[in-house]
Amino acid sequence: MINKTTNANAIEQPKVALIVGASGLIGQHLITQLLSSSSYSKVIALVRKPLTFTHPKLIPWQVDFQQLAAELSAQTTSQFHVKTGLSGNNFPAIDDIFCTLGSTIKKAGSKAAFTEVDYHYPLIIAEHFYRQHSSLFAIVTAMAANESSNLFYNQVKGKVETSLRKIGYQHLGIFRPSMLSGQRDENRIGEQVGAILMHALAFIIPKKYQVIQAEKVANAMLAYAKNPQAGVSVIQSDQLQNH
């Protein structure tokens, strides 16, 4: 992506953001912040279902995630124009991509379905927009992400990190939160009980392992995008707590 400033003293021009996972725990906070930020003139939300709100800067892009690669490549079709109100020719170039997709094996229904959501979808999106010259990709994985882990969940999170590193983004931000707290649209009883216990024991739990508010992760992602380091940045949960 061409830098939208001409020199160090130039005023930075507003960018275009794309968010995927806007209805999730972190995504709900992040899309609100992106829409409020003067850093972005437009915010494109890649969604499965229609959003429940509108905003002058918001462009919803509803897709069938089962056909994600084909949907992303359909920017020149009349169907794309119907969905977004934009033609392929005047679709804004995307600068920064924020991926807050995340599921569980139980919710997804199987290990294969979970892998589709947490590995294949982010990778398809990242590869597509890298070819369109987007320069920044920020993703939420997990504190213990490791493709060599004995836990399948952490394996998948580690695998997506490894694959994203190979793409070549100018800026790749990997966010590894501990257990999240916040208001979900779905009930995750185990997560809720775990969060209560961890809150109660916070005084003896190292900062890296303490429960973290989803809003802090969103804050950290936006702060990263405002001043990203070149290459790969891994932001651990204790660092996220500072936001």
Q: Tell me what pLDDT residue 180 has.
A: 86
- Average pLDDT for residues 218-233, to the nearest whole number? 97
Q: What is the reported pLDDT for 181?
A: 76
Q: What is the mean pLDDT of residues 196-203?
A: 50
pTM of the complete model: 0.85
What's the pLDDT score for residue 1?
Answer: 47
Distance CA 42, CA 35 (A): 8
CATH of 15-240, one of 3.20.20.70, 3.10.110.10, 3.40.228.10, 3.40.50.720: 3.40.50.720
Name the E strands within 55-170: 58-62, 96-99, 136-140
DSSP 3-state of 62 = strand
Beta-strand relationship, 96-99 and 171-176: unpaired
pLDDT value of position 201: 46
Question: Where do the structural domains in the chain lie, given as residue ranges?
Answer: 15-240
The lowest-confidence range among 10-19, 29-38, 101-110, 214-223 is 10-19
Q: What is the mean pLDDT of residues 80-98?
A: 75
Alpha-carbon distance of 243 to 239, in angstroms, equals 8
pLDDT tens digit sequence for 42-58: 999 999 999 999 999 99
Measured CA to CA, the distance from residue 4 to residue 26 in angstroms comes to 28
pLDDT of the residue at 73 = 87
Q: What share of the chain is helix, strand, coil (3-state, %, to 5)?
A: 40, 20, 40
